[in-house]
Structure 1
Amino acid sequence: MNRDQSRDLYDRALDVLAGGVNSSVRATQPYPFFVQRGDGAHVIDADGTKYIDYVMGYGPLLLGHTLPDRVVAAIQSHVSDGPMYGAPTEVEVELAEFIVRHVPSVEMLRFVNSGTEATVSAMRLARGVTGRDKIVIMQGSYHGAQPSTLVEGGPESAAPSSPGIPESFAEHTIPIPFNDEETAERVFTEHGDEIAAVLTEPILGNHGIVHPVEGYHQTLRDLTEAHDALLIFDEVITGFRVGGFQGAQGVFDVDPDLTTFGKVIGGGFPVGAIGGKTEYIEQFTPAGEIFQSGTFSGHPVTMAAGLETLRYAAEEDVYDHVNALGRRLREGLSDIVADRAPEYTVAGRDSMFKVIFTRRGESQTDACSGGCRQDESCDRFESCPKNGADVDAAATDRWERLFWQEMLEEGVFLTANQFESQFVSAAHTEADVEETLETYKNVL
């Protein structure tokens, strides 16, 4: 497959961009392919090659690359009126009203510019509200490029996971394994009066796709309530992806105190938000004393794109379509894996999917054919990934060095490592799914 133009662009990029990219996950081997444009469920690279796209911008593109006319019209209208003002606009109120109306735990919002900014602000809010410093996070979770969560190790051995982060940041972060109720209870027994919040994704989405075991989130809810700490759900990935308009918190029937959003609510433009109970969100300045501000927060073009995307999804039954395709993909992948690599695990929910190259386990069963759900009655329950360490133990190099490359050669664009989720959009078709399954079958 010819990628001469991508190679030349990468050669130029290495002179002016660190590592030739603006996000480390794009630095594929031997060099990234450069996208020229999107087309529905496809991307077309600089050499004119077309690929079925399941990266979808790492999640924001619920509707695909070719936006409906009404979404384009809303974006163009706000662009033509002026890009931004440094003053409030009606459209940011309308988007906030939409989210508050649909997510049960959210009574009030503050818009920001990225998922990272949302989690940074949510943690500051939790610390300001409680007067405490420590934050419990899940090992292997990702909450943006922020120093307080770029931490590795265990509850008693946390350390920065990147140079440039002072050790003092890690002192206030307590990493625990996802799905480990015993460790969560022990940490609260030992540090309960120091813990400001537990920050967790409802489903690990940046470290494979790992579901909670039954009752895990309720345990976190009970522990935080008992110790006057806050429960923060990071729904930057799952928000308006899993569970439709209610989010993953609705699927698991747990109401967090705070929720962070991003990706889908911006309709493909940079966005983040912190939502939650009024008594907490109103602690942000100027209503309260906890500082939070941003030049581009509530950007009118982003707000218009997000609002019209969500309105379109509501009126055109988008979730029925993407969830059905997602399930067909996972069921088909389960069949392929059972035949070609029975130790692998198919994971995902609704429009998210991934094959994790686990090294042990039997063939997929009926209990998990639609994606691993941590079902205790399933024969694979003991061997399917329960936390980030289990995903780390998978054949991650095989994904990056062989599988991803071969899938791209066959015209299917997947996330470039074992950890990032993949997504179906409203632009995907049954034919796309069948072609993708055939490609998986050939490559695996």
Structure 2
Amino acid sequence: MNHDESRSLYDRALSVIPGGVNSSVRATRPYPFFVERGDGAHVVDADGNRYLDYAMGYGPLLYGHDMPDPVRSAVQSHASEGPMYGAPTEVEVEHAEFVARHVPSVEMIRFVNSGTEATVSAVRLARGYTGRDKIVVMQGGYHGAQESTLVEGEPGDVHPSTSGIPESFAEQTIPVPFNDFETINQVFEAHGEDIAAVLTEPILGNNGIVLPVDGYLEHLRDVTEEHGSLLVFDEVITGFRVGGLQCAQGKFGVTPDVTTFGKIIGGGFPVGAVGGKSEILEQFSPSGPVFQSGTFSGHPVTMAAGYEYLKFAAENDVYEHVNRLGEKLRRGITDIVEDQAPSYTVVGTDSMFKTIFTRGGPPDLDGACEAGCEQRPDCPRYEHCPKDASDIADAETERWERIFWQEMKERGIFLTANQFESQFVSYAHTDEDIEETLEAYKEVL
């Protein structure tokens, strides 16, 4: 493939944009390709190269790059009537009503402008509602670029994970390993009266794709209720992608007190949201004492796109299609990995997938999970499959980024550029696309 135009654009970008990109995950080696346009399940770069896209905007593009006609019409209609107003509109009420009808935890919802803004607001809400300061998060979980969750370390030895954040911020955050019952119990025994909330993704989606082991989410629900803390699910990635319109909380049957959203809930436009029980959400200003506001919150174009996005999914076979293709892809990769790289682990559920370059495995794979790790105790891979973020970090992450991603790109397959970010199947993908992708996996692995 020729990449001269992308290389030239990156050279220009380095002069005016820090690192040449506006989001650090786009800084691929040796330089990113620059997208000119999307086309269904594909993107076309500035040099005319065409790629099957499984990044899908890092999650929000449930329909690929071609919006369904009702979504396109709604976006065009609202955009033509004026960009925004600084006043409420009917479509934000309709969108809120739709979400509240379908997501188990949501009685009320406040729309914001990004997943980061949603989790920032949720943390503030939890602290304001409970009158407590400490937040428990999962090691390696990602909740946006916010001071309260950009931390690393163990309980009792926590530090900011980036420069620019005072140590005092980290003092109020307690990171624990995902899927670790013992540590969460110890933390609540030591700090239960001071913990405002446990903030977790129901599935780790920014550190591979790590599903909860049996009973873990239920245990978080129980321990937070016992100590008067809130359970906050970050469904920015999983929301309206895992578990259909009920989201991951519906799939797992665990209802949090508060849920954060992003990505699909805005139909591919910038968005975030905080939903939950009315008695908690009403603590937001102007009805309560927890200040939250935003000029572009509930933006009419975003609200129209998100509302029509979800309506279309409710009225068509969207989830049946994407979940079937997701399973087909994971099954195919699992078969390839068993033959060519048996130490690797295929992960994912519904329309999410990833191959983790884990370093070990059992001598016999008979009876192993067939379409992605299910955290099944009777699976022979159970002791080897990732249980938390540290297991992902211990994988061959450099091989993924330096060799595997590059080779897949040269075969016209656009995957997320590192070992950690999730990948997604869209409504625009076809069975033929899956077969083409599996052939590329065979060649590269």
Deviation at 1:367, TM superposition (A): 4.3
Q: 2:253 matched to 1:253?
A: yes
Cα distance in 2 between the residues matched to 1:48 and 1:154? 48
In structure 1, C-alpha distance between the alignment counterparts of 2:205 and 2:255, rounded to whole Å: 19
The whole-number CA distance in structure 2 between the counterparts of 1:147 and 1:133 is 14
Instruction: Report the CA distance between 1:315 and its aligned residue.
Output: 1.1
- Residue of structure 1 equivalent to 2:385: 384
Partner of 1:200: 200
Distance 2:156 2:147 in 1: 18
1:77 to 1:366, Cα distance in 2 relative to 1, 3 A: farther
Match of residue 102 from structure 1: 102
Looking at structure 1, the residues matched to 165 and 442 of structure 2 have their Cα atoms a distance apart, in angstroms, of: 43
**Do structure 1's residue 235 and structure 2's residue 235 form an aligned pair?**
yes
Deviations 1:254-273 (A, max 9, x none): 11000000000110000000
Whether 1:35 and 2:41 are equivalent positions in the alignment is no
- Give the Cα separation in 2 of the matches to 1:97 and 1:441: 46
Q: Which residue of 2 aligns with 1:173?
A: 173
Percent pairwise identity? 72
Query: What one-letter code is carried by the residue in structure 1 that aligns with 2:394?
Result: A
Shift of 1:368: 1.3
Aligned equivalent of 2:416: 415
SS in 1 for 2:375: coil
Counterparts in 2 of 1:299 and 1:435: CA distance versus 1, 3 Å: same
Contact residue 135 and residue 174 of structure 1 kept, 8 A? yes
Partner Cα separation in structure 2 for residue 368 and residue 116 of structure 1: 34
1:365/1:11 Cα in 2 relative to 1: closer, same or farther (>3 Å)? farther
Q: Is the 8 A contact 2:179 2:212 kept in 1?
A: yes
Task: Measure, in 1, the Cα distance between the counterparts of 2:92 and 2:211.
Answer: 33
Measured in 1, the distance between the counterparts of 2:251 and 2:368 equals: 18
Give, in whole Å, the separation in 2 of the partners of 1:396 and 1:294.
38
Q: What SS does the corresponding residue of 1:368 show, helix, strand or coil? A: coil
Aligned counterpart, 1:212: 212
- 4+ residue runs over 2 A deviation: 362-367
- SS of 1:375's partner is coil
- 1:299-348, Cα deviation, whole Å (9 max, x unpaired): 00000001111111111110000000000000000000000100000000
Write the distance in 2 (CA, Å) between the matches of 1:364 and 1:219. Answer: 30
Structure 2 Cα separation of the partners of residues 91 and 183 of structure 1 = 44
Write the distance in 2 (CA, Å) between the matches of 1:365 and 1:226. 41
- Going from structure 1 to structure 2, the CA distance change for 1:19 and 1:364 (only over 3 Å counts) comes to farther
- Does the CA-based 8 Å contact 1:334-1:364 persist in structure 2? no
Q: Select between 249-258 and 39-48 the one with higher mean Cα deviation.
A: 249-258
Once residues 192 and 309 of structure 1 are traced to their aligned partners in structure 2, the CA distance between those partners, rounded to angstroms, is: 40
| 5+ long unaligned stretches in structure 1 | none
Which residue number in structure 2 is paired with residue 49 of structure 1?
49
- Please tell me whether the aligned partners of residues 368 and 381 of structure 2 are also in contact (alpha carbons under 8 angstroms): no
Could you tell me which residue of structure 2 aligns to residue 394 of structure 1? Answer: 395
Alpha-carbon distance in structure 2 between the residues aligned to 1:306 and 1:364: 42
Q: Offset of 1:364 from its aligned partner?
A: 5.1
TM-score, normalised via structure 2 length? 0.99
Tell me the number of residue pairs that the alignment of Structure 1 and Structure 2 aligns: 444
Q: CA deviation at 1:366?
A: 4.4
For 2:19 and 2:230, locate their aligned partners in 1 and report how far apart those are by CA, in whole Å.
Answer: 39
- The question of whether the paired residues in 2 share the 8 Å contact of 1:345 and 1:364 is answered with no
The aligned residue for residue 183 of structure 2 is 183
**CA shift digits 1:124-160 (9 cap, x unpaired):** 0000011110000000010000011000001111100
Match of 1:76 in 2: 76
